[in-house]
Amino acid sequence: MKFVFVTGGVLSSLGKGITSASVGLLLKSRGLKVTIIKIDPYLNYDAGTMNPYQHGEVFVTDDGGETDLDIGHYERFLNENLSKRNNITAGQVYLEVIERERQGKYLGATVQVVPHLTNLIKERIKEVAKDYDVTVVEIGGTVGDIESLPFLEAARQMGLEESSFYLHVSYVPFVKSVGEIKTKPTQHSVQRLREIGIQPDALVARGERPLTSEARRKLALFSSLPLRAVVSAHDLDNVYRVPFLLADQGLDDLIFEKLGLGVYADRSLDDWRDFTERVESSSRELKVAIVGKYIEVRDAYKSLIEAVGHAGARIGVRPRITLVDSIRLEREGTESLRDYDAIIIAGGFGRRGTEGKIAALRFGRENRVPTLGICLGMQLMTVEWARNVLGLEGAHSEEFQPDTPHPVIHLLPEQRDIDRLGATMRLGGQDVLLKEGSLLRRLYGKDVVRERHRHRYEFNNAYREAFVRSGLRIAGETEGLVEALEWPEHPFYVGVQFHPEYTSRPLRPNPVFVGLLEAALG
């Protein structure tokens, strides 16, 4: 087994996830079988109960994992489905160590971070890696974070046991007041990493500007690296160009040499290059509103934003996306939505902002603006239709109004006796049967599609006949559960209970978003 360990320095949110995904893409493009693991040092078991303001979106895998958003980057760059096992958290490994201790599996030993916790971390990593040529392992946080230390120690030990490459991603700021790139923060970060026992094999220097030759020389000297192992990774307008930036400086060649990978094929990135060029060459703009309540943090809608971009590249338009506050729509009305060519009602939880989303849905329906409701968006589309088309006064979801006279959205039966929040929703991939003659059937080009879910509430089938008689088509189902709604008399008025953004890829955009943008063009 061979590994690339990616660590971070100076500050978080530098782009380790994009760097890891780009390295994975480069290695895969040369004929290797590659997977990527994200290690999160927080004590949460998974990302399922975490606040989007703190953590960004929860990315759902096909096998039902509620994972870090970086798993979404990995899937998009590798163009492959990953598993919940690809996201390892401190909460998972600490819990398993304690459970093993309670079961007597340590034979009375004093259970310690080293070796018991670090051995389990290595075991988890190797279990995922066993079927691959190379496994990229991104360790969340920064060097020096106390919660990251057991994972860094496990990575150090794996360098003694397996063929390993250590890649350190660190911030190299440009200080405007002196007009100079400063290398000291990264020098200290590398020093801290070496104190832990890890000598980096390459350094990815993140910053606003490309490294100067003097800055590169300093970083190489104080990191004990050859010049070619210091890679400049300045900000780009298009993150999908990062693989080319790294490849042009030979980072994948360094990895091949250190890991003894021999001679593999040259990089095959023609499809990826075509995609990035389409993204950058599209001249016609479409204004797209994503209506939600976490608008201060774009990462809360990361996969959704990327999926719209994938669709835009496919049809040759540049989506200009604005996050619209559903709470503001409640206060100020929906006239501001007239500025947009398409409206997406995003998913979410909790009552706050729901009336603003309902108002946006009514605006899209009545003004014939192409509109897509996702998960909660579809549920609120049902509520809006019930109130304003069917005339069911007080119609609502049981989630927000348990005593509503018309619970057009109700709790799934299997959810009624659940008293825990984490990993208890309807999660992961399900086969959805699309109805013959529906718009979605035409867009997907097949009658069964696999899409991912994350919800507890569902369309109430007791109201099915009333909705169908009024003209709203049930376009998709899974074993009797309503998965999709559409209104044939509208250019594009579609609600889906699943999350199509999770399965959208740069080279394979999800058809739902392609259909939305095509309708907006029309």
* Secondary structure of residue 66 in the 3-state scheme: strand
User: How far is CA 383 from its chain centroid?
Assistant: 28
Q: Give the neighbor-by-neighbor strand order of the sheet with 202-207.
A: 87-89, 34-40, 134-139, 2-9, 163-171, 202-207, 230-234
Our answer to whether residue 162 is catalytic in this structure is no
Our answer to whether residue 330 is catalytic in this structure is no
Q: How far is CA 206 from CA 233, 236, 243, 316, 506, in A?
A: 5, 11, 14, 31, 24
Q: Give the neighbor-by-neighbor strand order of the sheet with 396-397.
A: 396-397, 407-411, 457-459
Residue linked to tokens 């958003």: 69
Pairing of strands 407-411, 396-397: parallel
Bridge partners of 408, per DSSP, are none
Check 138, 375, 451, 458 and give the catalytic one: 375
Check 73, 396, 455, 499 and give the catalytic one: 499
DSSP string of 113-144? IIIIIHHHHHHHHHHHHTT-SEEEEEE-S-TT
* Secondary structure of residue 214 in the 3-state scheme: helix
Our answer to whether residue 501 is catalytic in this structure is yes
Quick one: tokens of 266? 């040259």
CA angle 311, 312, 317 (to 5 degrees): 155
Q: Among residues 442, 474, 438, which one has the least CA distance to residue 458? A: 474
Catalytic residues: 375, 499, 501
